[in-house]
Amino acid sequence: MPTVPERPEDRPAPVALRLTLAQVASTRDGATNLALARDAVRRAADDGAHVVVLPEYASGFDPHGPDPELAEPLGGRFVEGLRAAARDAGVAVVAGTTLPGEDPARAVNVVVGVGSDGALVGAYRKVHLYDAFGQRESDRLEPGPAGAPPLVLDRTSWAPDGAPGLFAGVLTCYDLRFPESARRLVDAGADVLLVPAAWAAPSSLERAVERAAKADHWRTLLRARAIENTAFVVGVGQCGPGVLGRSLVVAPDGAVLAELGEEPGCVTVELDPRRLGEVRATNPSLVNRRYVVVPR
C-alpha cells in the first residue's frame, strides 16, 4: 500500500515562545547579582515564560568598564547558581557573564545559555569589543573568535517535548552595530535574535544630547536588525549609572511589541511563529539576497 504523503495541516504547528526580559542593575557584588538573577528566573516562571534573558555583565558590572577581577569560570558561583535556578523553575536562562582570559589582566565577555533542565547548552564569546565613543573594552577583554560556531538555541533548551518552535540566536551589545553578526545567526537558523547589552550612555545632565543619541542608536539598530532579517529581536539592557536600560522587543516587521524604561523591571512577551511566517511570506528578502557572510 503506498505511503500517504504528510499534508501541511497534519504537521504540528510551531509553538509560540514566551520570553521574559529581565532588566536589572547589576553591581560589583556577585551575591547581589546572583540574587537578582534568581529572582528574575522565579518571576519568569510565575509568568509562564519558557526563557528569561538577563543583560550583558549580569554577573558583575562596573560603569567604569569591564574589570577582570569580576571574572569567574563557567563552573563558578554565578553560572552554577543560574543552572540551579533554571532547573528548579523549569525555565531556560540566557545571561551575560565574564570568564577569566588567557592573560590574567584580561577577561572574556560571555553570554551563557542554560536549559530548563539546568544544563549549560552554550556560551557565546563576544566578538566585537566596544572600542568606540571614547571607551576601549579591548584594554581589559579578549575577543571571541570570529569563526566560532554561532550560538543558536532551539526549543529543546526550554521545552524538550519534540514540538517545533522558534530558534534563538545570541549576540552581545556592540555586536548589534555589525549587521553581518545578526545575518550569520539567521543563516544558522535563528528566528529570534537575543541581544544582552550594557548600552553605554552618559548619565550627566550636561551630556543629555549625547545620551538621547545613544538611546536612539539602540532603538534604531534593534528595529533595523529585525526588519532586515525578518526576525524577532530582543534587546535586554543593564540599567543604572552609565548605561541605558530601555529593553525592547521588536517583531519581524519592525513593530515594537514591548519596551521598558530606564529602571529595573521585567516584561514577558509571546513570540508567535505565525507572525514570523506571515512577514517572511510578504517580504522574502532573505530568499532574494545575493551575498553571504564570511568571518575573517
pLDDT at 41: 98
pLDDT at 5: 37
pLDDT digits (tens, 9 = 90+) for 24-39: 999 999 999 999 999 9
Task: Report the pLDDT averaged over residues 91-97.
Answer: 98
pLDDT at 206: 75
pLDDT exceeds cutoff 90 at 151 = yes
Pairwise CA distance, residues 123 & 109, whole Å: 10
Pairwise CA distance, residues 275 & 207, whole Å: 40
Residue 15 DSSP code: B
Residue 90 Rama label (left phi>0; alpha psi -120 to 50; beta): left
- Whether the predicted model's global pTM rises above the 0.85 cut: yes
pLDDT at 160: 73
Give CA 105 to chain center in angstroms.
26
Q: Which residue has the cell 535556578?
A: 85
Evaluate whether residue 1 is within a structural domain. no
pLDDT exceeds cutoff 70 at 217 = yes
pLDDT exceeds cutoff 90 at 195 = yes
pLDDT at 3: 39
Determine contact, residues 240/25, Cβ cutoff 8 Å: yes
Of 60, 50, 4, nearest in space to 155 by CA: 50
171: domain range? 17-283
Task: Report the pLDDT averaged over residues 106-119.
Answer: 97
Please count the structural domains in the chain.
1
At 36, list the grid cell: 537578582
Evaluate whether residue 163 is within a structural domain. yes
Contacts of 280 (CB under 8 A, 6+ apart): 230, 252, 286
At residue 141's C-alpha, the angle toward residues 138 and 146, to 5°, is 80
Evaluate whether residue 124 is within a structural domain. yes
Evaluate whether residue 128 is within a structural domain. yes
pLDDT exceeds cutoff 80 at 143 = yes
Pairwise CA distance, residues 82 & 102, whole Å: 24
Pairwise CA distance, residues 173 & 266, whole Å: 19
Evaluate whether residue 133 is within a structural domain. yes
**Residue 196 vs residues 5, 140, 205, 222, 289: alpha-carbon distances, Å:** 43, 19, 26, 12, 27
Evaluate whether residue 99 is within a structural domain. yes
Evaluate whether residue 127 is within a structural domain. yes
Q: What percent of the chain has pLDDT over 70?
A: 95
Determine contact, residues 98/108, Cβ cutoff 8 Å: yes
Instruction: Give the CATH number for residue 116.
Output: 3.60.110.10
Task: Report the pLDDT averaged over residues 218-245.
Answer: 97
Task: Report the pLDDT averaged over residues 78-103.
Answer: 97
Evaluate whether residue 141 is within a structural domain. yes
pLDDT digits (tens, 9 = 90+) for 37-75: 999 999 999 999 999 999 999 999 999 989 999 999 999
φ and ψ at residue 160, rounded to 5 degrees? -75, 65
Strand-pair category, 17-23 with 107-114: unpaired
pLDDT at 113: 98
